[in-house]
Amino acid sequence: ENYNFFIDILLDTIRNEIASCIEKAYEKIALNEAARMLFFENAKPMKDYAVQRGWTLPPDGFFHFQHEKKDADEVIPAKMLAEQTIEYARELEMIV
């Protein structure tokens, strides 16, 4: 009974971390799925939590998240990285 205070704090922290991940990982998520992932037993506390986080729930029943595209996210210099890795391997082979 004395530890309930700490359990509530831990659960809030876990919810906040999961909610942050949801915002980054999903473009949209259904109300019931978000409630399940955030350990809410029904939609009412989930809706209250969503208001706290600034999430809006349109009539389609999905929370929508805006993702900003960054130039760094779009282009990965795979060829350059592969060439550099091969060069490092050659240099390492010459050392050994």
Q: What is the CATH number of the domain that holds 50?
A: 1.25.40.990
The pTM of the whole model exceeds 0.85:
no
pLDDT digits (tens, 9 = 90+) for 32-49: 999 999 999 999 999 999
Q: Give me the domain span that covers residue 46.
A: 4-95
pLDDT of residue 32: 95
Confidence check: pLDDT of 72 > 90: no
Q: Following DSSP, what letter does each residue of 1-69 receive, concatenated?
A: -TTHHHHHHHHHHHHHHHHHHHHHH-SEEEHHHHHHHTT-SSHHHHHHHHHHHT----TTSEEE-----
- The percentage of residues in the chain with a pLDDT greater than 90, rounded to a whole number, is 70
Total number of domains in the chain: 1
Read off φ and ψ for residue 94, nearest 5 degrees.
Answer: -65, -35
